[in-house]
Structures are given as structure tokens and as C-alpha cells.
Amino acid sequence: MLIKCITTTPYEGQKPGTSGLRKRVKVFQQENYTQNFIQAILDAMSSPSASGATLVVGGDGRYFSTEAIQLIIRIAAGNRVGKLIIGKNGILSTPAASNLIRKRKADGGILLTASHNPGGPDNDFGIKFNVSNGGPAPENITNLIYENTKKCDKYYTCDMPEFDLSKIRVETIDGFIVEIVDSVEDYVQLLKEIFDFEQIKQFFKNNPKFKVLFDGLHGVTGPYAEHIFVDELGLSRSSIQNCIPLPDFGGSHPDPNLTYAHSLVERVERENINFGAASDGDGDRNMIYGKDAFVTPSDSVAVIAAHAEVIPYFQKTGIKGLARSMPTSAAIDLVAKKKGLEVFEVPTGWKFFGNLMDAGRLSICGEESFGTGSDHIREKDGIWAIVAWLNIIAVVNENELGSGIKEILLEHYQTYGRNFFSRYDYEEVESESANKMVAHLRHLISEGRNDFIGKTFDQFTVKEADDFEYTDPIDGSISKNQGIRIIFTDGSRIVIRLSGTGSQGATIRLYVEKYSQNASEYGANTQEALKPLIDVALQISKLQEFTGRDKPTVIT
């Protein structure tokens, strides 16, 4: 194996965002663009350095994945990486990759995904680096990767024929080991250790009228779902749809929400399906949807936390603490309060949960963006959340079928009150106007602060306002400017931040939350309940004035 040093020039803008580097495929296809970034990742590794390290490699199978994996194999060999563990055909869901890193005690992993962003030659690709705990690299490492990209003038590679990714085996090439592993097996094993598969299976057997539909949206979860829902839990094949992973996700948006998972939503309503669920391109997001009952992700994680004692894994480990990302509704905080647990509020992005989990202070956490998970791995986990709901439903209905998704939600509201929550996304806004809007908001809450606090808009009076700053309780690292928060005296809240996962222009996210303990409101329509608050958010932010947008691209 002849190692070669190739001269290259740095590219601008290779800054990892909320979850890795995400750009158009065409950007990654530029000469040495992908090579530079991979070299920058390997150079950011220390203790151990890349030389001699073991890395897991895989992704959601989107367009350009196999080309990228061939590059990674050669550059890893060029940097004298010890071993690569690669999912068969390059396929690993993000949760499965996180599990594999932990199980095999690897030093990290390179995940090839742009999550829920569309795929194909004209759409997005992404590369993310995870560290040895199985979680996304923390900010000090992503910053280092970025610094490395800015001065990247060479990379190491070697001459090697195309590596066959389709056969499970171990190959050693001059001391460099490449192992191709089954993409699904270890992950299924993990879930079987966490949940009571027998009880769920029995529940389906006892209640043949309880209908389930899972939608893989042609993302990576198809093979995982087939194995778990059909082979293990005994559901019929017609209980899963869009479960063949496609490099372009069948031309659609692999994002499990009411807009993009509409085929699931329509079937659930038309066929009276009791339990509908979907997952995103790389398998870390989930949506739970029953007839007439959409579960907001903020509620979903709160419900799972409230019922966690029925899940065998938590019976063993106990529930160490709960957490949510800042824009996520405070529904889980109320569960923590009732159970006497610690609850943490971290910036957007899963990387902030890892330290708390490693320190034994966090068991269950979630994000409003359809992300739910636990300390079984260090990524959010779509199928985990779906099976968690099924495990809860099986136990709650042990004696008689009476509680579906809707009943469980209502019962939750009766115990804890209801946190109405919605997010408005304004996608591909001109960066300059988005930045101007943020500058306007920063000005409002800083210099103009004295007259802003106490000011009344419609029925809402401003109590506090800030740009969220997080100090990691474990390592003390500080993350600034994580989103503008405006909190009103009645506990309602507006949050505005710019997305860190887009690949074109800017995406403005506007989050609104209102808490109610009035039982007559629990059945209310979310958009109607939040209308006055949304109007105030638009008034304060001057969003329309700055961006020219009179309505959002997506509402969740």
C-alpha cells in the first residue's frame, strides 16, 4: 500500500453546523472538497490520534455516500488509521452508528448524512464526526475541525482499488483492517435489551384490531423497521410503508412531520389506524401520530418520561435526570418536578446532552424537532421512541384496550396541564435580511432592554428577554448566542433563532409556547390557541418587514 501526500488548497465555509457539515452534493463533488474535510476531521483527533484509531463509518445511503466512503477508506489508510468498521453497503442509521461506536469501543465515527434534507444529485449531502462516547463531536472539536479546514494544504491517501462494501467480512491490507458489518443486527439486539418485546408482541396478538403503520419515508430505517416491527413484533408487512431506502428518498423530503409525512397522516385518518409513526432520512427523528391525535415532540418526550418506569431498561438503570433543548416546550420540566428529578435546558443540537449522560445525570431527553432519545446511545433515536410508545401502550392496556394515543395524551394534560407549542420555519430566506432581523432583536433585548422589559403586546407583558447562553455543568464550556428568548409574565414564550443545518440561504425558526391548566382548553386546536402569541412574535421581530415573507414554509 503506497501512501501519497496530495497537495490541496483550503475551501471556505467548511464549518460544521448544528449537526455536521451539510451542503449541496455539487459542493462536495468539487475537487478535493470532501477529501479536505475528511483530512480535517482526522487531524482533529487526539488521544488517540487518527493513527492506529478505530472508526465506524456509515450513513443514510443518500446519493454520493458510496463515493464518499471509498474516499474515506483511502484517506483513512493514508493516515494510518488502524481499523474501519463499515455498515454493509455503507448503510448505518445514525442511532445504529452511535451504538456501534459504543459497543465496539471505537474511537469515533464518520456519519454520512444530511438527515431530513432531500437527497439526490441536486440536493444535500453531509458529513458528521462522532466521538468515542458515540455522540456528535462537541463544539471544541467541531471548532478545531473548522480551523483545520481553513489551513488544509495537503491530505494523505493511497492507491487502492474500489473496496467491495456489499459483503460482510474482515479484510486486512498491509495492517490496515476494514470490517464490513451487518447494518441492523447490533441495533435490533440493543432494542431487545431495552424494551419488553414479548409484552408488545402479546399486546398485538390480543388486540388484532389495533392497527399500526410505520413510514420509513424511503430513508435508512426501512430495514430496521422491517426487522423490528415485522420479524420481531409480528406485525403484518402492510404495517410498514416506504421502507426501501433510496438515494434520493423517492424524490421527497424524508422529514417526519405533518407536511412531509402526509401519506402516513392520510392513511391513518382514512383507515382509522390507531398508531402511526415515521422516521427521517438517517433514522434519528420520529413522529407519533394516531387518529385525530398528533403528538408534538415536546409532549412525546414528556409522556415517555412520565411512563418510563414501565420500560425494562429504566427499571434497571433508574431515571437519572431529564433534559430538553431550549426551544422545546417545558412539558418535560413538569414531569421532572413531579418526579423530583433534575431537568436541564441545553442549546439546540444533540451534542449538548452527551456530557450529562456520560456523567450519569441524564436518562431521557428530547428536542421539539422530532428528536427523542435516552442514554442507551448518544444520538436521538427515532425507532427507540416509537417502540417506547408501543411498550407504554402495551402496559397501559394490559387488561383491556382503552387507551390509545389520544387518551394517553389527554390523561397527561389532566395531570400536568398542556403546553401548547408550535414552530414556524421560514426557509431559504436571504441571509442578509435574516441577519438584520436578528440584529434588530438583539438590539431590542440589550440596549433597549429597560423599556422592553415590562412592555405589553396585546395581552402579553414581557418579563425577561435574552440571547440564550449555556454553561455545560460538567466541563464548564460556554456556548453563547443560542437563540433569542422572550418570556412573558404568564409563562408564554417566544424563541427565535437561525437554523444551523440548512444548505442554502438562511432558515429562520420561530417557536411559540403557551401553558394552560384550564381543562376546557386541553382539546383545543394548537394553531388557534397560539394565534395571539404568534401575532405578537411577528410584531416584535418585524419578520415580514425584514424578509418580505408573509407566511412560513413549514409549520410544525
**Contacting positions for Co ion (CB under 5 A):** 115, 280, 282, 284-285
Compose the 49-68 pattern: x for residues touching ligand VG1 by CB under 6 A, - for all others. --------------------
Q: How many residues bind ligand VG1 (CB under 6 A)?
A: 18
- Catalytic residue positions? 115
Q: Is 95 in the site for ligand VG1 (CB under 6 A)?
A: no
Candidates 277-285, 288-296, 307-315, 510-518: pick the segment binding ligand VG1 (CB under 6 A): 277-285
End-to-end CA distance of the chain: 52
In eight-state DSSP terms, residue 138 is: P
Burial of 268 (0-12, 13-18, 19+ CB in 10 A): buried
Candidate list 107, 226, 280, 513; residue touching ligand VG1; CB under 6 A = 280
Of 14, 89, 115, 221, the residue at the interface with ligand VG1 (CB under 6 A) is: 115
Please say whether the beta carbons of 123 and 22 come within 8 A: no
Task: Identify the residue among 149, 183, 242, 369 touching ligand VG1 (CB under 6 A).
Answer: 369
Residue 478: its H or E element: strand 478-479
Q: Is 74 an interacting residue with respect to ligand VG1 (CB under 6 A)?
A: no
Q: What Å distances lie between residue 211 and 116, 204, 205, 238, 404, CA to CA?
A: 26, 9, 11, 10, 11
Q: How far is CA 372 from CA 61, 136, 328, 384, in A?
A: 22, 15, 11, 8
Indicate which of ligand VG1, Co ion, none lies near residue 433 (CB less than 5 to 8 Å, by partner kind): none
Which of ligand VG1, Co ion, none has residue 274 at its interface (CB below 5 to 8 Å by kind)?
none
**Cα 210 to Cα 148: distance, rounded to the nearest angstrom:** 54
- To 10 degrees, the CA torsion angle through 106, 110, 111, 112? -150
Q: 453 or 498, CB closer to ligand VG1? A: 498
CA distance 449 to 444: 6
Q: Min. distance of Cβ 4 from ligand VG1 in angstroms?
A: 34
Min separation Cβ 371 and ligand VG1, Å: 6
DSSP secondary structure letters along 496-520:
EEE-SS-SSSEEEEEEEEEEE--GG
Cα separations in angstroms, 60 against 87, 96, 118, 122: 10, 11, 11, 17
Give min distance, CB of 489 to ligand VG1, in A.
27
Residue keyed to cell 410498514:
240
Give the residue, chosen from 23, 88, 102, 116, that forms a contact with ligand VG1 under the rule CB under 6 A.
116
- 226 or 381, CB closer to Co ion? 381
For residue 369, the partner it binds in Co ion, ligand VG1, none, with Cβ less than 5 to 8 A by kind, is ligand VG1
Query: Considering the rule CB under 6 A, would residue 89 count as an interface residue with ligand VG1?
Result: no
| 19 makes contact with ligand VG1 (CB under 6 A) | yes
- Closer to Co ion by Cβ: residue 417 or 500: 500
Which string of x and - marks every residue 301-340 that binds ligand VG1 (by CB under 6 A)?
------------------------x---------------
CB 365 within 8 A of CB 353: yes
Using CB under 6 A, which of the segments 76-84, 166-174, 290-298, 493-501 binds ligand VG1? 493-501
Residue 284 makes contact with ligand VG1 by CB under 6 A: yes
Per-residue buried b or exposed e for 501-511, using 16+ beta carbons within 10 Å of the residue's own CB: bbbeebbbbbb
Residue 349 touches which of Co ion, ligand VG1, none (Cβ within 5-8 Å per kind) = ligand VG1
E strand or H helix that includes residue 127: strand 124-131
> Residue 206 contacts by C-beta under 8 Å, 6 or more apart in sequence?
none
Interface positions with ligand VG1 (CB under 6 A): 18-19, 115-116, 280, 284-285, 325, 348-350, 367, 369, 371, 499-501, 509
